[in-house]
Amino acid sequence: MKVGIINVTGYAGMELARLLYRHPDVELTSVTGRSAAGKKLGEALPHLMDIDLTITEELSEDVDFVFSALPQVASAQAIVPLIRRGLKVVDISADFRLRDPAEYLQWYGAEHPAPDLLDESVYGLTEWYRPELEACSLVANPGCYPTSALLGLGPALQAGIITDDIIIDSKSGVSGAGHSTASMYDYAEANENLQAYGLGGHRHLPEITQELKARIPGRDPKVTFVPHLVPMTRGILSTCYAPLVPGKLAEGKAGIEQLRELYVESYRNEPFVRVTPAPPQTKATWGSNYSLVYPTIDLRANRVVIVSALDNLVKGAAGQAIQNMNLMAGFPETMGIDALPAYP
């Protein structure tokens, strides 16, 4: 299968190239980029010097499958013609994540360019939408924060163990911002520094809320989501808090054990989600498609606390995109993305 990457010079794009180049059943044949067009891939991105491709402005005609790693709005503009032509596409941007064009307008400040395609697209949280993903042609790959929060909260919410009063305190490495000229992402300023941001409302909030509502129909989760910028390149850790619904679990430590068993059971057959016996480190996912989840209870306050960790560029972006491609193309789900994390 011949695949192409639109905007290979972004962090998600280069991570796609790294992984697809060693994928046994695909051939990477076309990579685009605006400012670097005309350069050899290895000239623009030295770590990819073994990939013998030239960056072009437009995607080659002969690809069978496309990943778009463009920012929102630009991404939809680029891929809508491809979808109309019958190509299969995974869109890393946010353009097809929100079901409701009005929400898209509110959060992204633009009219949705192809509202008719919203019904065709599938939200690419692989663990939640596997059957739909196998059958679809357009995947809206989830945001990095939502992936970590949803995998963390899903089992407890579905089992009715927690109420709707949900707080998600997320911490992300700096690569989540992509290339940016804002000084808060400069090394000298982001290093040895920590800050909360987006307290007025972050774009990943409606995405999280939409998917939680879809997962537990009839309920109305009230989510407070506060992201933080952490001085590291990769990694997201979401610490999720919600009150325990009384009577659902045993008292005391037995309840914690029941909660843990619920999560183990829920993720038993998942190739990339692991329920850990201790709070996970982001670094135990570095460079890999693994997602680590640790559920527990603060017994003094009767609150469930769930810690969820992943690599924002792999399971939070390029890795999950390839996981979805594998399903769409009928390949084994883990093909090309089964490398273990590199530690330390």
Whichever of 49 and 105 has its CB closer to a second copy, that residue is 49
Contacts with a second copy in 139-168 (CB under 8 A)? 165, 167
Tokens read off for 267:
């993720």
Among 27, 158, 180, 332, binds a second copy (CB under 8 A): 180
β-strands 236-243, 291-298: how paired? Answer: unpaired
Answer for the pair 288, 319: CB distance below 8 angstroms, yes or no: yes
Among 85, 135, 187, 246, binds a second copy (CB under 8 A): 187
Separation between Cα atoms, residue 114 and residue 98, nearest integer Å: 12
Our finding on whether 181 is near a second copy (CB under 8 A) is: yes
Helix axes 144-158, 204-215, angle to 10 degrees: 30
Our finding on whether 188 is near a second copy (CB under 8 A) is: yes
Cβ 51 to a second copy shortest distance, Å: 8
Our finding on whether 244 is near a second copy (CB under 8 A) is: no
Separation between Cα atoms, residue 293 and residue 275, nearest integer Å: 5
For residue 243, say if its preceding peptide bond is cis, omega within 30 degrees of 0: no
Our finding on whether 277 is near a second copy (CB under 8 A) is: yes
For the question of residue 240 being annotated catalytic, the response is no
Residue type, 274: R
Our finding on whether 106 is near a second copy (CB under 8 A) is: no
Bridge partners (DSSP) of residue 298 are 303
Q: Which of 12, 79, 144, 242 is catalytic?
A: 144
Our finding on whether 214 is near a second copy (CB under 8 A) is: no
Among 118, 133, 190, 328, binds a second copy (CB under 8 A): 190
Which residues fall within 8 angstroms of residue 37, CB to CB, at 6 or more apart?
A: 55, 56, 57
Could you give phi then psi for residue 90, rounded to 5 degrees?
Answer: -110, 120
Cβ 77 to a second copy shortest distance, Å: 25
Among 274, 293, 322, 326, binds a second copy (CB under 8 A): 274
Among 50, 52, 61, 62, binds a second copy (CB under 8 A): 50
